[in-house]
C-alpha cells in the first residue's frame, strides 16, 4: 500500500507566484491545493485539512499576519504548520509572522531545494508513512535508473524514521540499512530533493525541535544548545539566527 502523499495549501493572490510555486513543486512527493484569496484559503484549510499551509502575507485583500494568527488559533487548523512567504526581509516582518504562529519565514524568490527542505522539515511523516512496509525491497535498483518510481517513498520513509528518533542521529549507514538501500543512493536522493546531505537535513529537524522548545518549553538556551550537541549557546544562537533571522532569545520573547 502506498502512503498518503502530504498535501500543501498555497494561499497566494498573485497568479504568477502561484505558477512559479507549482513549477517548483511539480513532480515532488506532495499534493497541492491553491487558494487565490483569503476566504477561499480559510475554507480550504478548514475543509481540506492540508498537512501544511504556505501563505503569502503580502495579500492585497487582507492582513496576512492576522490570517496566520487565525489559522494558528482555530482548533480545526492549529495543528497545521504555517510557513510564511514574503518579499520583505526586514526583521519586523519576521517577528510579526513568528509572533502570529508561523513556523518558518521564507523570503522570495524561492529556491527549489531550499523550499522543499523547509517544507519537509515541518511535515509530520510517521503517520503518513505508516502504510509503508517496514523495509523497502532489499534488492532495490539504483535510483539513477528508477528515481521517479521510488524516490518519494524513500524520502518519506527516511524522514519519518528520523522524526521518530527525536534528536538521536542514527548515521546514514544504519538508516540506509533500515531502508534496504545503498548509502550512496540515500545521499543522492536527499541531494536531489533538498540540496542537503541526510545528516544536514537531520540538523534542520533538530533546529526545528529547538524552535519548538523555545516557544513552549522552559529549558534555557544553554540547555537546548547542549541537547543539540552545539559547542555552546553562542554557536546555537548563530545557527538559529542564520536560519530564522532572529536570535533564540528574541524568538522566545515573542511567545513569552
Of 3.10.180.10, 1.10.10.60, 3.30.70.100, 3.20.20.140, the CATH number of 126-256 is 1.10.10.60
pLDDT, tens digit, 9 for 90 and up, residues 199-222? 999 999 999 999 999 998 888 999
pLDDT at 238 over 60: yes
| Intrachain domains 7-123 and 126-256 with the same fold | no
Looking at residues 93-117, what average pLDDT do you find?
95
With a cut of 70, say whether residue 27 has pLDDT above it: yes
Average pLDDT, the chain: 86
Question: Where do the domains of the chain lie?
Answer: 7-123, 126-256
Sheet holding 104-107, edge to edge: 31-35, 7-11, 52-56, 82-86, 104-107
| % of the chain with per-residue pLDDT over 70 | 87
Query: What is the topology classification, in CATH, of domain 7-123?
Result: Rossmann fold (3.40.50)
What is the number of other CB atoms lying within 10 angstroms of the CB of residue 216?
Answer: 9
Q: Is the pLDDT of residue 91 over 90?
A: yes
pLDDT of residue 218: 86
Amino acid at each position: 500500500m502506498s502512503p498518503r502523499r502530504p498535501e500543501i495549501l498555497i494561499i497566494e493572490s498573485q497568479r504568477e507566484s502561484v505558477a512559479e510555486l507549482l513549477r517548483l513543486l511539480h513532480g515532488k512527493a506532495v499534493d497541492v491545493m491553491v487558494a487565490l484569496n483569503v476566504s477561499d484559503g480559510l475554507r480550504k484549510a478548514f475543509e481540506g485539512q492540508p498537512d501544511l499551509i504556505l501563505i503569502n502575507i503580502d495579500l492585497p485583500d487582507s492582513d496576512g499576519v492576522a490570517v496566520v494568527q487565525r489559522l494558528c488559533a482555530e482548533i480545526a487548523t492549529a495543528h497545521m504548520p504555517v510557513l510564511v512567504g514574503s518579499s520583505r526581509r526586514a526583521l519586523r516582518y519576521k517577528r510579526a509572522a513568528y509572533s502570529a504562529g508561523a513556523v518558518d519565514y521564507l523570503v522570495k524568490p524561492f529556491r527549489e531545494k531550499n523550499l522543499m527542505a523547509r517544507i519537509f522539515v515541518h511535515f509530520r511523516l510517521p503517520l503518513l508513512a505508516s502504510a509503508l512496509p517496514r523495509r523497502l525491497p532489499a534488492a532495490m535498483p539504483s535510483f539513477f535508473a528508477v528515481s521517479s518510481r521510488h524516490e518519494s517513498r524513500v524520502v518519506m520513509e527516511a524522514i519519518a524514521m528520523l522524526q521518530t528518533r527525536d534528536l538521536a542521529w542514527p548515521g546514514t549507514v544504519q538508516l540506509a540499512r533500515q531502508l534496504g538501500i545503498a548509502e550512496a543512493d540515500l545521499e543522492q536522493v536527499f541531494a536531489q530533493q533538498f540540496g542537503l546531505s541526510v545528516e544536514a537535513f537531520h540538523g534542520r529537524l533538530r533546529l526545528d525541535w529547538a524552535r519548538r522548545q523555545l516557544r513552549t518549553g522552559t529549558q534555557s538556551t544553554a540547555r537546548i544548545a547542549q541537547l543539540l550537541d552545539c559547542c555552546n549557546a553562542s554557536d546555537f544562537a548563530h545557527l538559529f539566527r542564520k536560519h530564522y533571522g532572529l536570535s533564540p532569545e528574541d524568538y522566545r520573547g515573542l511567545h513569552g
